[in-house]
Structure 1
């Protein structure tokens, strides 16, 4: 059983269904809310589901005891809900992924993203399908921008062809209408150059933490979730953001033989603002 052609239900209705039936609701990203917004959201949730426990969180950090083994689910109360088991009994239940056209893909690459093209893709993701009035053909062809407009959520590890991304792992995240790339720990390959294998160890399998030569563990692993998402089209859009062969050669020329110690010496004594510009 699934939604028919005339069924106009949206992801918003899926969200409402889940909120109304939940025992625990995690209210994430409360640090990004304006003053008073959290109270209004809590009031709406209380109206939809007066009995649910509401747990506020930042960056998804939640005490496991607040959401696991809470013993809040009551089968007797659930059975009294008018929609409980209605669909499975009458129609056979289709998952929400089919009912609302939600699907996902995981994009993996051992080649970095071009920073300009990936930034443009990020702006499209933030608009969620609403084209800017002044929008013209940019670094990405319109066919790739169109493919990205059904994306609801994206998160994962990214590698960009920039100085900062060469040394530090990047974390990309699309949540709501906010897309950002933040940088964290260094890539394993950036911490030290692997020593050449000894005569006895030649031919042995390389340590998996170093990944593929010559760039070690630098890579992109990005999960994309969307509604009525074309996986081939979205994959093509992400591939269009990768550096070309010529751009990869330029990147390799700049970074192949660089060592982290060289960069630290070069940046020593640079003022904060100047450093921020250079590290881009």
Structure 2
């Protein structure tokens, strides 16, 4: 192996499992010069914005944002282009890649393998594929499906028939194709429930260490290695064989994860604040069950200074103040920030400044128009406080 090659750590896992939180925690521990590639399937890259606001080292890191698709399919070429750029940055020592929640890690690694084979002198190499598993969600929503999938797995062909791919198969793919598993949100399960989840995870992934975590808080050394990722350890039934085959198919098309799994997304944007009571009533009582994952920044009419981060994953949701709107800062501080970051004026409103509701909704079988109507009912017609 070429000396001083940059290790690449790929972080994958289903929607809402805690990938961004994990990456944020890892960045706070990593002392080397880091580059980031952050992928979000929505048309706005919320994960990248969270890292910018909360990651202690992010302002010093080159960050490449890929959105409105997945690096395993529709954004494959762009992903490889960014890998190539990073490989030529002498100052970078390690690369972290956060895949979207519906990315197939086998397909991502197949692209990386093809890149390494075509560029034997590249300065980067894949070392770790880390799958973040939402232990609570596996137990509450997918445990019975995963058990059935294990029992009915009579043939490899049946397991990987993509014509009627289920979300549970995607979760299995992510669990199978990795060399480290972070079993997250362990605090939401009893000891017996946690044992049951770990058992089913181990059924699909017999080799990778399973690391328990709460809020993605782990010791970075547990997932870091200098050894190249061992593609040969993956069984012939794994996603790598399927993904590698697609790379060589003549006239192949990037149909995308959205089509493959029936998962779609849309962005809701509004320049009026939400009424807190109306929004909370909608989230708590009338939230569509077809929405798998939602995430974005919102503002309430009774808290015009605060940037609120809204997140929903399955049955769980949260709203937390994470920062201040630039327009809410003291005038001299605001003008100084704008002078240093002139791009913020591109989306500046004369009345509300940078305040805006901007949320990505991801789901399967939902009615977009109905959801937009419900959200618009939550907007406050009054002037904000």
Give me the TM-score of the superposition, normalised by structure 2. Answer: 0.46
Q: In 1, Cα distance between the equivalents of 2:204 and 2:189?
A: 20
Instruction: Check if 1:47 corresponds to 2:203.
Output: yes
Q: In 2, Cα distance between the equivalents of 1:171 and 1:196?
A: 21
SS in 2 for 1:149: coil
* RMSD between aligned residues: 3.7
Contact 1:114 1:161 in 2 (8 A): yes
Instruction: Check if 1:185 corresponds to 2:323.
Output: yes
Contact 2:173 2:238 in 1 (8 A): no
Q: In 2, Cα distance between the equivalents of 1:196 and 1:54?
A: 46
Give the aligned partner of residue 202 of structure 1: none
- Distance change >3 Å, CA 98–CA 195, structure 1 → 2: closer
Aligned-residue offset at 1:52: 1.6
CA offsets per residue over residues 78-109 of structure 1, 9 Å max, x none? 36336653477489685443222012222222
Aligned-residue offset at 1:64: 5.6
Give the aligned partner of residue 167 of structure 1: 305
Q: In 1, Cα distance between the equivalents of 2:196 and 2:299?
A: 38
Aligned-residue offset at 1:233: 4.1
Q: In 2, Cα distance between the equivalents of 1:206 and 1:100?
A: 36
Higher strand share: 2
Give the aligned partner of residue 107 of structure 1: 268
Q: In 1, Cα distance between the equivalents of 2:219 and 2:348?
A: 34
Give me the TM-score of the superposition, normalised by structure 1. Answer: 0.61
Aligned-residue offset at 1:208: 3.5
Q: In 2, Cα distance between the equivalents of 1:25 and 1:185?
A: 31
- Distance change >3 Å, CA 206–CA 67, structure 1 → 2: closer
Contact 1:27 1:55 in 2 (8 A): yes
Matches within 5 A, 1:208-227: 208=345, 211-227=348-364
Give the aligned partner of residue 284 of structure 2: 123
Matches within 5 A, 1:126-275: 148-162=288-302, 165-193=303-331, 208=345, 211-243=348-380, 247-248=381-382, 251-252=383-384, 255=385
Stretches of structure 2 that go unaligned for 5 or more consecutive residues are: 1-159, 336-341
Q: In 2, Cα distance between the equivalents of 1:121 and 1:212?
A: 27
Stretches of structure 1 that go unaligned for 5 or more consecutive residues are: 126-144, 198-204, 256-280
- Distance change >3 Å, CA 80–CA 170, structure 1 → 2: same
- Distance change >3 Å, CA 117–CA 22, structure 1 → 2: same
Contact 2:326 2:334 in 1 (8 A): no
Q: In 2, Cα distance between the equivalents of 1:168 and 1:178?
A: 22
Most deviating of 78-87 and 101-110: 78-87
- Distance change >3 Å, CA 64–CA 183, structure 1 → 2: same
Aligned residue pairs, count = 215
Q: In 2, Cα distance between the equivalents of 1:117 and 1:67?
A: 43
CA offsets per residue over residues 244-271 of structure 1, 9 Å max, x none? xxx23xx34xx3xxxxxxxxxxxxxxxx
SS in 1 for 2:301: coil
- Distance change >3 Å, CA 230–CA 185, structure 1 → 2: same
Structure possessing the higher radius of gyration over alpha carbons: 1
- Distance change >3 Å, CA 53–CA 10, structure 1 → 2: same
Aligned-residue offset at 1:23: 2.2
Q: In 2, Cα distance between the equivalents of 1:215 and 1:166?
A: 10
CA offsets per residue over residues 193-248 of structure 1, 9 Å max, x none? 46999xxxxxxx896399423333322221211113444443343333222xxx23
Q: In 2, Cα distance between the equivalents of 1:160 and 1:214?
A: 15
- Distance change >3 Å, CA 66–CA 109, structure 1 → 2: farther
